[in-house]
């Protein structure tokens, strides 16, 4: 029988144990208590991924102990973000008290006469929302919850569940608003760790949509709406835009592909240099570039803050423009735009710049620089793109690359515009992880701007590549 070593964090002290391979973490804990008399305290019940009680932090991420297999040198810790009661048991009582405070049950002012039938279509509306097993993994990874009074995505999920139930007569949107509904950055870290694959960020967006319709919104988000209604951009224009300065078509000398460049608001109105860098980099890789002059805001700021009515108008305008083009791909250098085009527009021919360029073999000039990479949440989790930008950076001779664990900087989900103090706090925490590098690379104008305000030297990946083509 092959034995491997696992480590247990018992209230700050790391203990090592030999256990047989091919056990689940839950089985390994029971083996340790039985064979070593360790008396480690932990929670478990159903053993079948249904009760959620056995969730632990395993190698840095929340996982169910009953379904996670042990690996050599694995580190097992209590679920983060909660007070430790004993060993691997955390205090779940604050969560239960929060559920109690939001009246986590159907509220009726007048009961029906006799049996009340529920149509199947009504049941389907909340089916995914009811799949939660209360493992609390989402709460342990939420950056907003760790830095504010935001109760977490699963609490908002419960509020949406009752909001969509026609039997419920409570004002769930009002409760959500005063429970800091707009503190969520929509980073999707909760979705990433949810064992039931519940789309929690979509639940929050839907709840925000319902709240906005009832008049529960942040004034700063209303101002973004006004900008879009005036100019089809989420920010005001202060000078000649990138689309006004640039040509409509740039022909590559030895054309291999033709793409449409979807700029996004910040590149068009603020980061104009990044726009021209993108064109130069694409041309250097023998890619011809269309710049659709009729393109408008992708609608992401409206979708993330619940203002779907405006977003749908923007989507219609963009689809009319983009679907008429004779191109191979639509290319983005903004994580939010790319995620919106892929996931909300459902376009199949959209690529982040790193996804496209990684397919081309090209030698880059040497650049002696110590850099790291910041994962935009809407790129890593929204598009599952994280290997490609790292590989492109590593292709540059002379680059010293120091990787970093993904962590939300606080710029997304309307938090930067609407909850400035929380955004600043999250930005500062993220910035501390990059103090030992010359530059931080990213592929999101919002992350770039936000991290620059924390004192970091940040550039878009295309601006880095522009230096070495």
Does one domain contain both 177 and 314?
Answer: no
Asked if pLDDT for residue 196 goes beyond 90, the answer is yes
9-18, 73-82, 115-124, 362-371: range with lowest mean pLDDT: 115-124
- Candidates 365, 364, 363, 385; CA nearest to 375 is 385
> How confident is the model over 102-117, as a mean pLDDT?
88
pLDDT at 292: 98
In the numeric block, which tokens belong to residue 46? 């159903």
Integer Rg of the chain from CA: 24
* pLDDT tens per residue, range 160-192: 999 999 999 999 999 999 999 999 999 999 999
What is the residue-averaged pLDDT of the chain? 97
Kindly tell me the sign of the dihedral angle through the C-alpha atoms of 160, 165, 170, 171: positive
3-state secondary structure 134-168: CCCHHHHHCHHHHHCCCCCHHHHHHHHHHHCCCCC
Strands (E), 210-286: 249-250, 257-262
pTM for this structure? 0.94
Asked if pLDDT for residue 119 goes beyond 90, the answer is no
pLDDT at 162: 97
Does one domain contain both 392 and 358?
Answer: yes
Does one domain contain both 384 and 287?
Answer: yes
Number of domains in the chain: 3
Whether 116 is covered by a domain: the verdict is: no
Whether 228 is covered by a domain: the verdict is: no
Q: Which domain holds residue 128?
A: 94-110+122-213
Give dist(CA 209, CA 178) in Å, integer.
15
Asked if pLDDT for residue 122 goes beyond 90, the answer is no
Does one domain contain both 159 and 244?
Answer: no
Asked if pLDDT for residue 450 goes beyond 90, the answer is yes
Whether 229 is covered by a domain: the verdict is: no
Does one domain contain both 105 and 67?
Answer: no
> How confident is the model over 300-310, as a mean pLDDT?
98
């Amino acid at each position: 029988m092959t034995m491997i070593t696992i480590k247990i964090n018992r209230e700050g002290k790391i203990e090592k144990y030999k256990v047989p391979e091919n056990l689940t973490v839950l089985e390994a804990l029971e083996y340790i208590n039985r064979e070593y008399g360790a008396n480690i305290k932990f929670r478990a019940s159903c053993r079948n991924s249904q009760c959620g009680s056995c969730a632990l932090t395993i190698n840095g991420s929340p996982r169910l102990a009953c379904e996670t297999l042990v690996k050599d040198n694995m580190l097992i810790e209590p679920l983060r973000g909660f007070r430790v009661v004993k060993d691997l048991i955390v205090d779940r009582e604050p969560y239960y008290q929060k559920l109690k405070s939001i009246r986590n049950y159907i509220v009726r002012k007048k009961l029906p006469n006799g049996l009340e039938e529920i149509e199947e279509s009504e049941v389907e509306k909340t089916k995914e929302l009811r799949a939660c097993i209360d493992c609390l993994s989402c709460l342990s990874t939420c950056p907003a919850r760790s830095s504010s009074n935001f109760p977490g995505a699963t609490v908002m999920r419960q509020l949406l569940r009752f909001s969509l139930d026609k039997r419920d007569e409570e004002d769930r949107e009002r409760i959500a608003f005063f429970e800091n509904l707009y503190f969520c950055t929509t980073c999707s870290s909760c979705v990433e760790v949810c064992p039931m694959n519940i789309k929690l960020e979509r639940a929050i967006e839907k709840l925000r949509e319902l709240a906005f319709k009832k008049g529960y919104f942040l004034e700063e988000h209303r101002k973004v709406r006004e900008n879009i209604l005036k100019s089809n951009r989420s920010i005001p224009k202060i000078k000649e835009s990138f689309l006004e300065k640039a040509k409509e078509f740039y022909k590559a000398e030895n054309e291999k592909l033709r793409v449409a460049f979807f700029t996004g608001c910040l590149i068009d109105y603020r980061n104009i240099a990044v726009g021209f860098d993108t064109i130069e980099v694409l041309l250097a890789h023998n890619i011809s570039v269309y710049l659709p002059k009729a393109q408008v805001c992708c609608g992401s700021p409206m979708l993330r803050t619940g203002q779907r009515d405006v977003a749908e108008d923007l989507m219609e305008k963009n689809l009319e423009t983009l679907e008429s083009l004779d191109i191979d791909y639509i290319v983005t250098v903004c994580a939010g735009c790319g995620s919106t085009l892929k996931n909300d527009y459902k376009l199949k021919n959209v690529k982040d710049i790193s996804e496209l360029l990684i397919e081309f073999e090209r030698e880059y000039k040497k650049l002696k620089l110590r850099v790291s990479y910041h994962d935009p949440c809407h790129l890593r989790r929204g598009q599952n793109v994280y290997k490609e930008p790292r590989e492109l950076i590593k292709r540059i001779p002379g680059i010293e690359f120091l990787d970093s664990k993904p962590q939300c900087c606080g710029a997304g989900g309307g938090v930067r515009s609407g909850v400035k103090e929380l955004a600043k706090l999250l930005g500062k925490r993220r910035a501390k992880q990059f103090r030992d590098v010359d530059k931080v690379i990213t592929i999101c104008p919002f992350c770039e701007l936000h991290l620059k305000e924390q004192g970091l030297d940040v550039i878009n990946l295309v601006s880095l590549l522009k230096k070495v083509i």
